[in-house]
Amino acid sequence: MFFVVFTVLFAGESIAQNSLPSAESTDPAVMGWMLGTPPDAAKLVRHDDLSFYQFPRTRWTFSHFRELLPTKRLWRGAGAGVPLVAMPDGAIDGVEFTPMGQSTVMSFGDMLTATYADAALVLHKGDVVYENYFGATSRETPHISFSMTKSYYGTLAAMLVEEGQLEEDKLVRDYLPELADSGFATATVRQILDMTTAIDYSEDYTDPDAHVFDFARSGGIFPRGDYDGPEGFYAYVATLKAKGKHGNAFSYRSVNTEVLGWLIARVTGSNAVDLLQERIWSRLGAEEDAYILIDTLGTGWAAGGLNATLRDHARFGEMMRKGGRWNGAQVVPEVVVDDIRRGGDREKFAKAGYTTLPGASYRNQWWVHHNPNGAFSARGVHGQTIYIDPRAEMVIVRLASHPLAANGNYDDVSLPAYQAVADYLMAQD
């Protein structure tokens, strides 16, 4: 069963964009998912049969995860939400750009349609100059972040490094003896943070036998089916072995972030989700609570489980753009933000072969673009993005439900669109 479902989901990773069904035809309202009391059997979205992760049902799922899986709340805090002033600029939808390797011109609005956007927002100098919602997502709807979650956890861990609670040169086994027989044992905290570990683990979304799917099953994110491996994220990472030498090259593996979440919990003695709430989320002046998907043992999914609203992601992005200062307080130390913006080892990153990210690097679970504007971003599969452009004083957040997982499938339109909006906003200044 699982092979068939994964083939439906991921065998199309290499399919050309123009052969995919359109965003308009797969709109959740048009499809009628989960409407009625009870819904018609043909319109159900369920976890137990994995239909929740089959396109186009995913266009409903990504705004309704809490109705399908167990979660842990991130409380927004007792204070009033920090207002975001709306100063809409009607011209942004029509800002034009040329996609990578093409000659045809597209607009920012075209890009949102092409990437199956569920919501998009542009901040300029802290004001909302563009905001739009599509499909099943509205202003108050928490949407799955997937690997944007990593940047939240990476920021939190970098804060602990700055405070001396977590030492970046120490080995993982020094903090987590439970991993002494795993491939992570001799990796350093820094190698975990920057994903330069060498682990026998595949995150190839086009391969139904890739480890990433067993990882998801171990925590109950996908139903276990015939999977008979360990239960829980921590038990799963303890089974992974080394392959190669740590520190040689960047290699994107979500299991690094699960180890990072475990490290955060161990050195602080706190639940990592609770700490994320205390140190970051409750200090953003968020409009809504967020929540994290948890495994069957109650562990927050550090690699991809955060669900939050578009505007609250924008608050986090704007705080990072402003050097960690927000709502009258220094939420994240400026030195931590500066370290992220400087980036990681570009030579190690280049070995991973990301053709749409030439010259980029990875630092503290953030993607650093090293373009003239100093942009850096949080990125998640199926089109999730917080894109921060310090020079243009701009933050773009896009939440999406693209049928293809890897961002490399649509970076060719996304990244030039972000740059074009930045250029437009700087020209207005």
How much is the mean pLDDT over the chain? 95
| Whole-structure pTM value | 0.96
From the centroid of its chain, how far is CA 85?
25
**Every domain of the chain and the residues it spans:** 2-56, 117-428
State the residue for tokens 């990773």: 13
Examine the pLDDT at 374 and tell me if it is beyond 90: yes
pLDDT digits (tens, 9 = 90+) for 316-353: 999 999 999 999 999 999 999 999 999 999 999 999 99
Evaluate if residue 10 carries a pLDDT over 60.
no
Three-class HEC string of 392-424: CCEEEEEEECCCCCCHHHCHHHHHHHHHHHHHH
Give catalytic residue positions. Answer: 147
Q: Mind listing the pLDDT tens digit for each residue in 181-233? A: 999 999 999 999 999 999 999 999 889 899 999 999 999 999 999 999 999 99
Residue that is written with structure tokens 């773009």 in the block:
396
pLDDT of residue 80: 87
Helices and strands counted in the chain (H then E): 15, 15
The C-alpha atoms of residue 33 and residue 31 are separated, in whole angstroms, by 6
Strand locations in 69-228 (E): 71-74, 96-97, 106-107, 117-124, 127-133, 143-144
Distance (Å, rounded) from C-alpha 395 to C-alpha 388? 5
What is the mean pLDDT of the segment spanning 95-117? 97
Virtual CA dihedral for 295, 299, 300, 303, nearest 10 degrees? -80
Query: Which candidate, 250, 253, 246, 283, places its Cα nearest to that of 159?
Result: 283
Q: What is the 3-state secondary structure (H, E, C) of 208-276?
A: CCCHHHHHHHHCCCCCCCCCCCCCCHHHHHCCCCECCCCCCCCCCCCHHHHHHHHHHHHHHCCCHHHHH
Beta bridge partners of 377: 367, 387
- The predicted-structure confidence for 131-162, as pLDDT tens digits, reads as follows 999 999 999 999 999 999 999 999 999 999 99
Fold entry, domain 117-428:
Beta-lactamase (3.40.710)
Residue 167 and residue 189 in contact, taking contact as beta carbons nearer than 8 Å: yes
- Eight-class DSSP state of 29: H
In the chain, the N- to C-terminal Cα span, in Å, equals: 56
pLDDT of residue 5: 42
